[in-house]
Structure 1
Amino acid sequence: MQPNEITEILNRPISQELLARDLTRLAYVAKDGTPRSVPIGFTWNGSQIVMCTTKNAPKLPALRHNPAVALTIDTEVHPPKILLIRGRAELDVVDGIPEEYLQMNGSYEMTAEQRVEWEAEVRSLYDGMVRIVVTPTWAKLIDFETTLPSAVEELVRQRAERLHA
């Protein structure tokens, strides 16, 4: 997929709505070779998905071994809106709490007082974190209005051919 195609998909209004959500599902291959998919908070900086995790997270050795990842960001309504992204995870170990981690937790419903308490707890628990940065190398938006899963698109095409035969 060409970079301009990825940009066009990610700049669509529905994609932008999805990229403003709190959680993505991060899929990767674990060290034992089996697949994993974990929900994780994220933020979109306009060109990359940034997720943050503990320095001792089990996913880190797996991502160092095989950085290929897939992300799913979707809605819980019918019809769902789904943004699928593939890329490579770059790991960036940082001291303290990355600003992205504080941003990505900013949309949870917390009072100002709860937010202060939460941030103090986070700062006392973590001496550093790992930023997992994914630059999209492939993207697909499925909204079930203008775009469909590729298998469903194929069925629609086959039905049209049958009807016009």
Structure 2
Amino acid sequence: MEQHEINEILNRPLSRELLARDLTRLAYVAKDGTPRNVPIGFTWNGAELVMCTATNAPKLSHLRANPMVALTIDTEVHPPKILLIRGRAELDLVEGIPDEYLQMNGSYEMTPEQRVEWEAGVRSLYEAMVRIVVTPTWAKLIDFETTLPTAVEELIQRQQERAQT
């Protein structure tokens, strides 16, 4: 997929709305060849998805062995709105707490007092974190109004062809 095609998809209003959400599902392949899919907080900086994790998280060794990932950001309503992204994870060790980690956890409903307590707990727990940075190399937006899953598009096309004969 060409970069301008990716940019066009990611700059659509619905994509920007989905990229402003706080959770994605990160899919990767474990070292034993089996798939993994985990929910993880993220932030979008306009060019990359940034996720943060503990330095001892098991997913890091798998991502070092095979950095190719797929991400799903979706809604919980019908029809769902779905943004699918593929890319390559780059791992960046950060001393202390990455700014993105604090940003991505800013949307949870907390009182100011709870936020202060939460942040103090985070700062006392993590000496360092790893930023998982993904630059999209492929993207698809499915809204079930103007865009559909490829398999459904194919079924509709076959149905239309049968109706014409």
TM-score of the pair, normalised by structure 2: 0.99
Displacement of 1:55 after TM fit? Answer: 0.2
CA distance in 2, matches of 1:138, 1:114: 38
Identity %: 81
CA distance in 1, matches of 2:111, 2:161: 57
Q: What's the counterpart of residue 161 of structure 2?
A: 161
Tell me the alpha carbon deviations over residues 112-143 of structure 1, each in whole angstroms, 9 at most, x when there is no partner.
00000000000000000000000000000000
Aligned pairs (5 A) from 1:140-159: 140-159=140-159
CA distance in 2, matches of 1:23, 1:114: 21
CA distance in 2, matches of 1:114, 1:136: 34
Displacement of 1:164 after TM fit? Answer: 1.3
Q: What's the counterpart of residue 3 of structure 2?
A: 3
Aligned pairs (5 A) from 1:23-102: 23-102=23-102
RMSD across aligned C-alpha pairs, in angstroms? 0.4
State the SS of the aligned residue for 2:145.
Answer: coil
CA distance in 1, matches of 2:128, 2:32: 27
Q: Give yes or no for the alignment of 1:20 onto 2:56.
A: no
Q: Which amino acid aligns with 1:71?
A: L
CA distance in 1, matches of 2:140, 2:66: 22
Displacement of 1:79 after TM fit? Answer: 0.1
Tell me the alpha carbon deviations over residues 80-131 of structure 1, each in whole angstroms, 9 at most, x when there is no partner.
0000000000000010000000000000000000000000000000000000
Displacement of 1:33 after TM fit? Answer: 1.1
Displacement of 1:44 after TM fit? Answer: 0.2
Q: Which amino acid aligns with 1:126?
A: Y
Give the count of matched residue pairs. 165
CA distance in 2, matches of 1:126, 1:105: 15
Displacement of 1:32 after TM fit? Answer: 1.4
Displacement of 1:19 after TM fit? Answer: 0.2
State the SS of the aligned residue for 1:147.
Answer: coil
TM-score of the pair, normalised by structure 1: 0.99
